Every structure is written in C-alpha cells, then in structure tokens.
C-alpha cells in the first residue's frame, strides 16, 4: 500500500513539471519564431513613399494645430 501512495505522490509533481516544461517550450518557440520573422517585411518603394508622405502630412497637421493653440 505504501508503494502505491509513494508512486502516486511522485507522479503528480512529475506531470506538473512536464506541463510547465511544455508551456515554457511553446512560449519560447513562439517568441523565437516571431523574432526570426520580424525583420522580413518587404515594403515596396511605392508603399514606403506613401507612408513617408502620410507621415509628413500628419506632422504638418500636428504642427499647425500646435501653432493654433
């Protein structure tokens, strides 16, 4: 009877550690995948030009609003 209780008390923490390890591996794997793909966002020259033009518009608009206050 004691052997059964001993194996049962050792089994629960082992399963808990396995779940914790799997969760940690999953999180780290996901973060690594995001890290290696983060810089692979090719933007065409046309889109980049539009983005910069829109940014300049917004900055000018904010400057005018600030001057009007």
Tokens of 56: 């300049």
Say what the alpha-carbon torsion angle 19, 25, 28, 31 is, to the nearest 10 degrees.
-90
**Predicted confidence band at 5 (pLDDT cuts at 50, 70, 90)?**
low
Token pair, residue 61, equals: 């608009």
CA gap 7, 15 in Å, rounded: 12
pLDDT at residue 39 greater than cutoff 80: no
Considering 5-9, 15-19, 41-45, 47-51, the range whose residues carry the highest mean pLDDT is 47-51
């Amino acid at each position: 009877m004691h052997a059964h209780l001993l194996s049962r008390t050792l089994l629960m923490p082992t399963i808990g550690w396995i779940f914790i390890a799997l969760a940690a591996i999953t999180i780290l794997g996901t973060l690594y995948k995001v890290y290696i793909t983060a810089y692979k966002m090719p933007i065409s020259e046309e889109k980049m030009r539009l983005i910069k033009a829109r940014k300049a518009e917004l900055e000018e608009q904010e400057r005018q609003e600030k001057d009007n206050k």
